[in-house]
Copies of this chain bind each other. A is one copy, B any other.
Amino acid sequence: MPGIRRAIPLYDLLNDEGIGSIERHADRILQEFGIEFRGDAEALRLFGEAGADVRGERVRFEPGLVKHIVQRSAPREFVHRARNPQRSVTIGGQHAAFAPAYGPPFVRDLEKGRRYASLDDFVNFVKLAYASPYLHYSGGTVCEPVDIPVNKRHLDMVYSHMRYSDKPFLGGIINVERARDCIEMCRILFGERTVAENCVMLGNVNVNSPLVYDGIVSQVIRTYAEAGQGVVICPFILGGAMGPVTPTASIAQAHAEAMVGVALTQLVKPGTPAIYGNFLSTMSLRSGAPTFGQPEAALAYMAVGQLARAVGVPLRCGGSFTSAKICDAQAAQESADSLLPALLSGTNFVLHAAGWLEGGLTMGYEKLILDADHLGMMTKMLGGLALDDNAFALDAYREIGHGEHFLGTRHTLANYDTVYYESRVADSNSFEQWELEGSNDAERRALRIWKQQLDEYTAPDLDPAVDEALLAFMKGRKSVMPDAWY
């Protein structure tokens, strides 16, 4: 099964007392301030029935109650089934899976620059994610196809994932109707029974932080859960805005918010596959703009990993984040420093693992290639260090003398082509060779690669009858909706 099985230990930033302190503060937030569920009587009813203190739309919890609800039935790991079973991934435990960026209204490439995204771009990104061995997901809203009416594009997006890729994907979450459409399309693709018995789609929902779930969000959570589909509950907090400016407070708040969302999935249907999500970032003191790849977020990811493990649910955290507008040194540094801490802290599902630019406003063609290459490095790193006889190579010393090189030893020849990760984008040639080849920077080299990958793309097989049924469903749904553009 694809996805990554982590062979290296986790990094623990805090000791038990530190983690306990954050859990206690989260409990205090839940007890003293509570969470508001606005316009969703059924969610209020479920929480009341489970023992919460419901007054109006405010739901308060005794310390430990939410954790208890979660731990009673939430799976520690689950399989996200792909239509190609060889591409199904396990989410949770020692596993990790990578998905492209989600949500950008713009796209950018080096030749055509930044522009509004279209369905053509969307399909291109599905194809590029499909081409990468290091992206396990086809993605969700890999970009917003703004040339399609806003109330219909979920159909084209999910269809594109189904038609042009056979990897796992994420479905629509904007409202209940669209979530239902996506579930219906899954039933056509996978069959009713498979959908009833398996997680075949994830919905990623953001909490309306601080401390609010609006009715649409909680209804979408319930819709996915009722259909047995996976839900990622993601507090979205820029420190100082949707949470306090100090990272520790935002971590505690996010913990409270994520736990309550996961608890809701379990109250709707015990055993629902749910992911504890996290999106925390910082801001520039000069402008108030969100910043990424900064040290405070790295520390937060490390603590969040420990909190998710303390509860025992799969974790979504980190990504290849940046506020850079192009694939420059800033973009790469911020992305690298956003990803490694999340992986060392045990993240199981990385959304936004490739393509993200400009604080998430832009999906980058070259950025996707650079990030996917970097994911290959991270995959190798998570595999750890071999400690067997071949790894120690004592025989190699018997072949050569002191001060001589190992290039020609049998050990080198036997290991040469598998021992190191080989980047497709990095240029390690001499300056002279690099200059001779055009003095291209990494972004320029990535341009060539995505073009080549699109040229070489071949669609995975899809049963024509299923394809027809999907197209007929979309046509039917579109025919009863007037176009909406905002």
Chain A residues in contact with chain B, CB under 8 A? 8-9, 11-14, 18, 21-22, 25, 28-29, 32-33, 35-36, 58, 114, 208, 210-212, 239-249, 251-252, 282-296, 298-300, 303, 323-337, 340-341, 344, 358-359, 361-362, 370, 374, 377-378, 380-381, 384-387, 390-394, 396-397, 400, 402-407, 409, 411-412, 415-417, 419-423, 425-431, 434-435, 439, 441-443
Contact = CB atoms under 8 A, between A and B. Distances in A.
A325 B435 CA distance: 9
B295 A421 contact: yes
Top-8 shortest CB links A-B: A295-B381, A244-B393, A332-B332, A249-B393, A336-B336, A328-B441, A329-B332, A248-B391
Contacts of A397: 29, 32-33, 210-211, 244
Given A114-B431, A245-B393, 12 more contacts: A13-B385, A210-B397, A211-B397, A211-B403, A246-B419, A248-B385, A249-B396, A295-B377, A328-B441, A330-B427, A336-B336, A361-B431
B403 A443 contact: no
Contacts of A409: 244
A291 B420 contact: yes
11 contacts: A14-B387, A28-B394, A36-B402, A211-B403, A244-B409, A246-B411, A247-B385, A247-B419, A288-B407, A295-B377, A325-B435
B329 A327 contact: yes
B323 A244 contact: no
Given A295-B421, A387-B248, A406-B245, A329 B442 contact: yes
Contacts of A25: 392, 394
Nearest to A412: B245
Contacts of A282: 420
A206 to B, nearest CB: 13
A247 B419 CA distance: 8
Contacts of A425: 330
A428 B452 CA distance: 32
A183 to B, nearest CB: 29
Given A377-B295, A428-B289, A443 B402 contact: no
A341 B339 CA distance: 12
A431 B358 contact: yes
A342 B328 CA distance: 24
B299 A381 contact: yes
Contact of A340 (B29, B337, B380): B337
Contacts of A298: 381
A405 B242 contact: yes
Please indicate which of the listed interface residues A244, A247, A282, A333 has the most CB atoms of chain B within 10 Å of its own CB. A333
